[in-house]
């Protein structure tokens, strides 16, 4: 039952009610029951509280392009230990039994019943209090900012009246989403709460990349508001994604015998927003990377459009103008300070391949071929990805071979009549690359190496996502593929997201995605997943991908079954 005190004539949403709801969700396995529970919870909320509650329920504090709070697991754990007069050994003993930092924090708080916190004078935490508290943490910057962030989070914990609030303050601080309520389920809950078509809710979410804002529009403006929703400048649109094609010929047939073939460069996908001289560049994960790419910003400023949203790829170049390795490009994307030092060392090139918005008009519903014409009318050919439109397999094959010879990854085949469908991975766009086995996996632990690598976290435990239990499950351990420079970087990054150390092993938050090549998938009794990769080696670190984009256990199972089928055919 909601606890909604009346303050100044308005009902106030308490944080504890969101926490209790999330606990209820965690205990439910039925998809429809979860949707109904959340729908009933959000339908009568005041609109500002609605926006925050929707984000909190899916484990988000802010829209994805806003800065992260930057506390890290070690900072959060340290605050919990200090506030509840615990110790590291006691905390990790509890964590070992729960496997969940939020739940472990709640158990620690339960031991003293939050008694020291009852002297706080501010009263019960509202969801606005929590939002404002985390916003202050995110904004802390400059010298001494980490100490300030920790002090602010410490103050937020002190205001928690109940152990369950501690649990979800910790989860929000770490960006954990382990109660199983995904963005897709929230789209359905919003549609149900306000009696609206699901397709319209999903479309608005894909256009705004903000479920909180989507819920606000749904409540205030209904069907017409959702239907009229357009791209919002400087709010990144969810990217349209491509399926893998078996080969070039099957891609051409799938797309009706005539298609556009675009060079697939070995770069980082970006979405570029422009309003006069103001430019923002967002990564595939909707992170604002504008400050890291000053020369790209200058290219966009010269585009002859008052306002526009483009899709493109940024690549790094060698001294002879050829595509440089992806990891060099990632050095540029990671650099936030002293960017100018790298501009001359690692030059970048921007290639546009689509336009989604121009001078106030949203273009995503126009067919690809028309968007392509509009793009060519706005930017010069030298900054558009090289493209061949053909119905002839031989022409496409020659184009493909040239792309590979020039150091590119392959081709993207596109349906000439397809609209741009944000957030959808479908068969209107098809990836064509040389055949070899790779998976995107997330690092969940790492072990110190030996010899000259003794100070580096060089042995990585790799996990795939299992949507059935909402967990990342280990499928292998890998210690090959990364350069020494990359190992130094990944060691530093892993330590920033470390949860605990046990001997030589460091357990980390699932934040870092890597692309992994392997020989085959095997059955394994050593891992919970029951599967393991044979001879895994890391191809590259995928800073541009979210942990939620990694391959699933079901994908590995499918590969295993396909391997078994091929062996049977061979015998």
Both structure tokens of 359: 């001078």
Task: Give the integer Cα–Cα distance in Å for 226 and 199.
Answer: 10
φ, ψ at 155 (rounded to 5°): -65, -35
Q: In which element (H, E) is residue 508 found?
A: strand 505-508
3-state secondary structure of 523: strand
Task: Give the integer Cα–Cα distance in Å for 67 and 70.
Answer: 8
From residue 225, how far is each of 201, 235, 237, 564, 566 by CA, in Å? 10, 17, 18, 51, 52
Task: Give the integer Cα–Cα distance in Å for 319 and 345.
Answer: 9
70, exposed or middle or buried, with CB in 10 Å at 0-12, 13-18, 19+? middle
From residue 98, how far is each of 91, 93, 104, 259, 498 by CA, in Å? 11, 9, 6, 52, 17
The answer for residues whose C-beta is within 8 angstroms of residue 146's C-beta and 6 or more apart is 70, 75
Handedness of CA 293, 69, 422, 427 (dihedral sign): positive
φ, ψ at 476 (rounded to 5°): 165, 165
Candidates 219, 264, 274, 428; catalytic one: 264
Pairing of β 425-432 and β 241-244: parallel
90, exposed or middle or buried, with CB in 10 Å at 0-12, 13-18, 19+? middle
Residues 431 and 245: beta-carbon distance below 8 Å: yes
Task: Give the integer Cα–Cα distance in Å for 364 and 223.
Answer: 19
Looking at the DSSP bridge assignments, the partners of residue 515 are 440, 540
φ, ψ at 555 (rounded to 5°): -65, -45
384-396 burial, b at 16+ Cβ within 10 Å, e below that, comes to: bbbbbeeeeeeeb
From residue 130, how far is each of 20, 75, 107, 206 by CA, in Å? 15, 18, 21, 26
To the query of whether residue 219 is one of the catalytic residues in this protein, the response is: no
Q: What is the DSSP letter of 321?
A: S
**Enzyme catalytic residues:** 264
């Amino acid at each position: 039952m909601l606890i909604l005190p009346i303050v100044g004539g308005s009902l106030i949403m308490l944080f504890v009610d969101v926490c209790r709801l999330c606990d209820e969700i965690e205990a439910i396995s039925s998809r429809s029951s979860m949707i109904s529970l959340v729908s009933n919870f959000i339908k009568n909320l005041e609109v500002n509280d609605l926006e925050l509650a929707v984000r909190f329920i899916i484990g988000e504090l802010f829209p994805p392009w806003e800065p992260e709070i930057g506390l890290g697991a070690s900072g959060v754990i340290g605050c919990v230990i200090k506030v509840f007069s615990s110790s590291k050994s006691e905390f990790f003993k509890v964590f070992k039994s729960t496997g969940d930092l939020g739940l472990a924090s709640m158990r620690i708080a339960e031991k003293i019943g939050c008694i020291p916190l009852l002297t706080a004078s501010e009263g019960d935490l509202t969801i606005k209090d929590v939002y404002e508290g985390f916003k202050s943490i995110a904004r802390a910057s400059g010298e001494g900012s980490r100490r300030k962030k920790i002090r602010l989070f410490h103050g937020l914990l002190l205001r928690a009246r109940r152990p369950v609030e501690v649990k979800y303050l910790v989860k929000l601080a770490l960006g954990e989403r382990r109660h199983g309520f995904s963005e897709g389920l929230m789209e359905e809950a919003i549609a149900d709460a306000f009696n609206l078509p699901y397709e319209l809710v999903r479309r608005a979410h894909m256009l705004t990349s903000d479920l909180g804002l989507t819920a606000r529009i749904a409540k205030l403006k209904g069907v017409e508001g959702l239907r009229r929703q357009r791209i919002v400048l400087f709010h990144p649109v969810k990217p349209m994604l491509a399926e893998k094609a078996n080969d070039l010929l099957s891609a051409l047939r799938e797309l009706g015998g005539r298609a556009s073939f675009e060079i697939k460069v070995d770069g980082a996908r970006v979405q570029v927003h422009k309003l006069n001289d103001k430019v923002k560049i967002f990564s595939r994960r909707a992170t604002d990377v504008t400050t890291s790419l000053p020369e790209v910003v200058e290219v966009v400023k010269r585009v002859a459009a008052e306002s526009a949203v483009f899709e493109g790829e940024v690549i790094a170049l060698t001294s002879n103008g050829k595509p440089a390795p992806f990891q060099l490009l990632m050095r540029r994307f990671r650099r936030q300070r002293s960017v100018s030092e790298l501009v001359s060392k690692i030059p970048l090139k921007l290639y546009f391949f689509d336009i989604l918005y121009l001078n106030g008009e949203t273009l995503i519903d126009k067919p690809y071929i028309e968007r392509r014409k509009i793009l060519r009318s706005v930017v010069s050919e030298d900054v558009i990805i090289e493209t061949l439109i053909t119905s002839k397999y031989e022409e496409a094959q020659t184009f493909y071979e040239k792309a590979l010879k020039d150091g590119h990854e392959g081709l993207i085949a596109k349906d000439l009549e397809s609209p741009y469908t944000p957030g959808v991975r479908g068969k209107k766009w098809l990836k064509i690359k040389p055949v070899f086995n790779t998976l995107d996996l997330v690092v969940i632990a790492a072990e110190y190496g030996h010899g000259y690598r003794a100070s580096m976290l060089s042995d990585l435990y790799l996990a795939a996502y299992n949507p059935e239990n909402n967990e990342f499950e280990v499928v292998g351990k890998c210690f090959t593929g990364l350069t020494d420079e990359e190992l130094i970087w990944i060691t530093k990054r892993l330590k920033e997201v470390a949860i605990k150390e046990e001997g030589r092993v460091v357990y980390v938050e699932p934040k870092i995605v890597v692309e992994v090549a392997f020989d085959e998938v095997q059955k394994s009794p050593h891992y919970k997943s029951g599967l393991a990769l044979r001879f895994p080696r890391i191809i590259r670190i995928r800073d541009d991908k979210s942990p939620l984009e990694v391959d699933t256990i079901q994908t590995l199972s499918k590969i295993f079954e396909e391997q078994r089928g091929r062996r049977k055919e061979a015998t």
